[in-house]
Amino acid sequence: MDTIKSNIIQYISESIDPSMADFELETDIRSLGLTSMKILHIVMRVEKRYNIVLPDDVTFKIKTVSDFVEAIENEVRAEST
């Protein structure tokens, strides 16, 4: 699942100001300047990449980079069973 983490970090890094690129897994994604639209764009990229659909209630609970990674990992696991 490290690939998922790497991809999420890459997608976030591509969506934020380069001066904010040094973030931690526990960083609040909104503190990175990610608007709802940017977050939605990242979610759509991830859904397409992993052929999943992240439920809206899960999406709205994402607060940190770690939450984002965990949500995707859980959905990928659920889809593979």
> Which pTM was predicted?
0.87
Mean pLDDT along residues 49-69: 93
3-state helix, strand, coil in the chain (%, to 5): 70, 0, 25
Mean pLDDT along residues 13-36: 92
| CB atoms near residue 8 (< 10 Å) | 23
| CB atoms near residue 12 (< 10 Å) | 22
What pairs with residue 64 in β-bridges? Answer: 28
Query: Residue 2: what pLDDT?
Result: 67
Query: Residue 29: what pLDDT?
Result: 93
Residues 6+ apart with CB under 8 A from 10: none
pLDDT in tens, 39-53: 999 999 999 999 999
